Each structure stands twice: as C-alpha cells, then as structure tokens.
C-alpha cells in the first residue's frame, strides 16, 4: 500500500484507526501523564523530560511539592536578622515587630561575632576549658588524618616537620 497516494482526510482516518491521536512529525509524542504530573521519572518504556531545578537529578522519586516554610528568616526594623523554626515562634516574633521582608538596613549576623559573644559570656575558667577542649579536638582530628596515611607518606610528611624552618638571610 502506497501511503503517498492517500489524501489528508484518508491519512487522518488511518491515524484514528491506528490510535495515533497526536501529530507525529519526527518528535516523541507527549503522553497525557507527562502533562499532568511533571514529577514522574522517566522509565525505559516511557521516556519523558524531567523538570528539576538543579543539575543533580534525584532518583528516589520523592515528592518535592511538599515543602515547609520553616526555618525562615525574619527581620527587625533595626536590621537585626533572626531565624524562626515554627509557626508559633513566627507569630510571636511578628507580634513583637519583626518583618517577613528584609528592610533596606538589614545586616546579616556575623558568626564570628556571635561566637565571640558566647565566649565572653563564659567565666574565665570555662573559657580556658573550652579552649583546651578545642585544642584536644584539633589534635584528635589531626591524629585520625595521620593514621589514614600510608607509612611512606607519613615518613615524607614528618621529615619536613621535624626540622625547624631555615632562616633566610636578607639580601642587601
């Protein structure tokens, strides 16, 4: 059967009999469920485009439409920024005068300043204990990194550490 001799109406009737309701012009036909739920992942029998906002495509099939508003940021009129973790805290802070949109004078909190304030709030003895504990944590982390090295790498590393650095003479 030569399809080139058929008229447009005969071709349309043939497509209807074969169940080809979409126009096939060299492109993959769009199936109805592709248009209804764009979160469906492609399968070997049903390839379809995926619409993810990142380059990393999740393959778990999780429902990303269920999101939470919290944690979220609020701002005071003086520019202070805070984070609220639930609706109850959010309504309480808004009642205190916090805004959901950042004012022009908003300044992000400095994490170093927050740590400095927390250390200053401690007594001198507690501060000394915190510093000693931090040094112990650093030594433990370094010890675990050193234990992961191969023996020849460890020897090469320690060969440069054992000797004090040579002082350079100034050239005049």
Query: Could you read off the pLDDT of 157-169 as tens digits, one per residue?
Result: 888 775 555 666 6
User: CA triplet 8, 9, 14: central angle to 5 degrees?
Assistant: 95
Please report, for the chain, the start and end positions of each structural domain, with discontinuous segments joined by +. 68-109, 111-153
Phi, psi of 88 (to 5 degrees): -65, -45
Q: CA triplet 33, 38, 39: central angle to 5 degrees?
A: 115
User: Across the chain, how many H-helices and E-strands are there?
Assistant: 6, 2
Q: What long-range pairs does 79-87 form, CB within 8 A, spacing at least 24?
A: 79/103, 79/105, 79/106, 79/107, 80/107, 80/109, 81/106, 81/107, 81/108, 81/109
What pLDDT was estimated at residue 42?
74
Res 8: pLDDT? 84
For 160, what's the count of Cα atoms within 13 Å in the CB-facing half-sphere? 4
Report the distance separating Cα 19 and Cα 144, nearest Å.
66
Under 8 Å between Cβ of 81 and 109:
yes
Could you write out the DSSP letters of every residue in 60-129?
S---TT-----SEEEE-TTS-EEEE-SHHHHHHHHHHT-BSS--TT--PPPHHHHHHHHHHHS-HHHHHH
pLDDT at 141: 93
* pLDDT in the model for residue 88: 95
d(CA 100, CA 109): 16
Residues 33, 138: Cα–Cα separation, whole Å: 55
> How far is it, in rounded angstroms, from Cα 132 to Cα 142?
15
pLDDT at 45: 74
Report pTM: 0.37
pLDDT score, position 87? 92
**Which parts of the chain have pLDDT scores under 50?**
none
């Amino acid at each position: 059967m030569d399809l080139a001799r058929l008229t447009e109406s005969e071709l349309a009737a043939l497509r209807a009999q074969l169940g080809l309701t979409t126009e096939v012009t060299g492109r993959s036909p769009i199936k109805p469920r592709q248009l209804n739920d764009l979160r469906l992942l492609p399968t070997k029998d049903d390839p379809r485009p995926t619409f993810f906002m990142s380059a990393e495509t999740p393959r778990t099939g999780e429902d990303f439409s269920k999101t939470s508003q919290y944690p979220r940021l609020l701002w005071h009129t003086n520019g202070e920024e805070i984070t609220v973790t639930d609706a109850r805290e959010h309504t309480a802070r808004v009642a205190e005068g916090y805004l959901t949109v950042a004012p022009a004078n908003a300044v992000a909190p400095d994490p170093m300043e927050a740590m400095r304030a927390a250390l200053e709030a401690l007594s001198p003895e507690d501060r000394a204990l915190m510093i000693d504990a931090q040094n112990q944590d650093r030594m433990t982390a370094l010890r675990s990194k050193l234990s992961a090295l191969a023996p020849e790498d460890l020897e090469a590393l320690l060969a440069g550490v054992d000797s004090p650095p040579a002082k350079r003479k100034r050239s005049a």
